């Protein structure tokens, strides 16, 4: 019999999913950050980013700054999944029915807003370390203290959050809605339905 996961399990499941995705895609994220913050002459292509970073720092260079990114994925993904699933359960308890597409979009948007707010300071640290603004060998804690001392909380650790409040909720809302819609569609296909349920 299917059991509704507890809040802690929902948070942990989301966090583990976020950490796994981060570890698999981090070199691409680093390359994107380098391309967006340096002159085109330095990195004319995506491949040139990988080559130059690898030559300068080896394999570990491709994962520079991953620690704050992994730490940030825990509150981001965990909070997003937890908020989304909790809102769905509350809605079903109140209405006695499953949520429609617009409600899913709304719940996903709220989940994205909460996730962005919870993880944004770590996202700031990640970007500073990825783009080479920070001197090599500087620890994450030192970067955090420097930002807090020189720029403060609002203008330092949460700088640019308002723009993420526009992008994040839309992205998360669409992602959750499309995912659940596709799962429901696949369950209506006999062969795929057996694979999902097994």
Euclidean distance between CA atoms 123 and 158, whole angstroms: 9
- For the segment 33-85, what is each residue's pLDDT rounded down to a tens digit? 788 777 767 778 888 888 888 888 888 888 887 887 888 888 888 999 899 99
Mean pLDDT taken over the chain: 82
Q: Which domains does the chain have, with CATH numbers?
A: 7-197 (1.50.40.10)
User: pTM for this structure?
Assistant: 0.71
> What interhelical angle do 101-130 and 140-150 show, nearest 10?
100
> What is the radius of gyration, based on Cα positions, of the chain?
20
The confidence band for 136, taking pLDDT boundaries of 50, 70 and 90, is low
Q: 109: buried, middle or exposed (CB in 10 Å: 19+, 13-18, 0-12)?
A: buried
């Amino acid at each position: 019999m299917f059991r509704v996961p507890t809040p802690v399990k929902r948070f942990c499941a989301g966090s583990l999913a976020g950490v796994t995705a981060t570890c698999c895609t981090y070199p691409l994220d680093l390359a994107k950050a380098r391309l967006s913050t340096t002159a085109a002459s330095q990195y004319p292509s995506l491949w040139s980013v990988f080559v130059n970073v690898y030559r300068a720092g080896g394999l570990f260079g491709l994962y520079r700054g991953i620690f704050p990114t992994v730490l940030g994925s825990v509150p981001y993904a965990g909070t997003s999944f937890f908020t989304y699933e909790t809102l769905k359960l509350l809605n079903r308890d109140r209405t006695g029915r499953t949520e429609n597409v617009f409600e899913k979009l709304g719940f996903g948007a709220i989940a994205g807003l909460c996730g962005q707010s919870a993880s944004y300071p770590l996202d700031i640290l990640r970007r500073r370390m990825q783009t080479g603004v920070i001197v090599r060998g500087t620890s994450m804690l030192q970067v955090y203290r420097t930002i807090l001392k020189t720029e403060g909380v609002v203008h330092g650790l949460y700088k640019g959050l308002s723009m993420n409040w526009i992008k994040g909720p839309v992205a998360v809302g669409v992602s959750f809605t499309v995912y659940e819609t596709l799962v429901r569609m696949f369950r209506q296909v006999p062969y795929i339905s057996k694979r999902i349920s097994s």
